[in-house]
Amino acid sequence: MFANILLAVDGSEHAVRAAKMAGDLARNMKSESLRIVVAFSHIPAYLGEPNMQEAIDARLQEAEKILQNALDEVGKIPGEIKTELIEGSPAEAIINVAATRNSKLIVMGSRGMGSLGSLLLGSTSQSVVSQAPCPVLIVR
């Protein structure tokens, strides 16, 4: 069960808890793979050079940091760990990766880096729960 797990992280505390749980699940289920996805926002071409390249580099660096932190929280698992940095909408990225990579479970936080702390679910988790091609584990 849950042979391929997709973990979505954005650097938030909820996502850190999701990463810990994804690691525990991957160990307990002896999952074949755990794929960690970080989406970063689109950089508009009108910025022009060198601003555009600088903006891309800054976002990539930030995404790499989030990824590294998630890897630390996941820890060692028996299966393979794969990572994907994707430009664009987080919900779209998560849903597309889950569909194309045949993920059996998506693990993500209930909330993220957004500022509306009173909401039960953020917009990313809400979209993924309603459109995902597989079960979704929302970590609070």
Ligand X SMILES: Nc1ncnc2c1ncn2[C@@H]1O[C@H](COP(=O)(O)OP(=O)(O)OP(=O)(O)O)[C@@H](O)[C@H]1O
Summarize as ranges the residues that interact with ligand X (CB under 6 A).
8-10, 12, 14-15, 18, 37-39, 90, 108-109, 111-114, 116, 122-125
Cis peptide before 50 (omega within 30 of 0): yes
Q: Measure the N-to-C terminal CA separation of the chain; round to a whole number of Å.
A: 22
Q: In terms of Cα–Cα distance, which of 105, 114, 135 is closest to 15?
A: 114
Nearest residue to the partner ligand X, using Cβ = 122
Q: In terms of Cα–Cα distance, which of 125, 12, 31, 129 is closest to 78?
A: 31
- Look up residue 81 and give its two tokens: 């760990």
112 near Mg ion, judged by CB under 5 A: yes
Give least dist CB 12 to Mg ion, A.
8
135 near Mg ion, judged by CB under 5 A: no
Q: Which does 111 bind (CB under 5 to 8 A by kind): Mg ion, ligand X, none?
A: ligand X
Listed ranges 42-50, 69-77, 78-86, 113-121: which one lies at the site for Mg ion (CB under 5 A): 113-121
Answer for which of 75, 78, 114, 135 binds Mg ion (CB under 5 A) is 114
Q: Which does 9 bind (CB under 5 to 8 A by kind): ligand X, Mg ion, none?
A: ligand X
Give least dist CB 137 to ligand X, A.
10
Asked if residues 73 and 119 have their Cβ atoms less than 8 Å apart, the reply is no
- Provide the sign of the torsion angle of the four alpha carbons 16, 111, 60, 102, taken in this order: positive
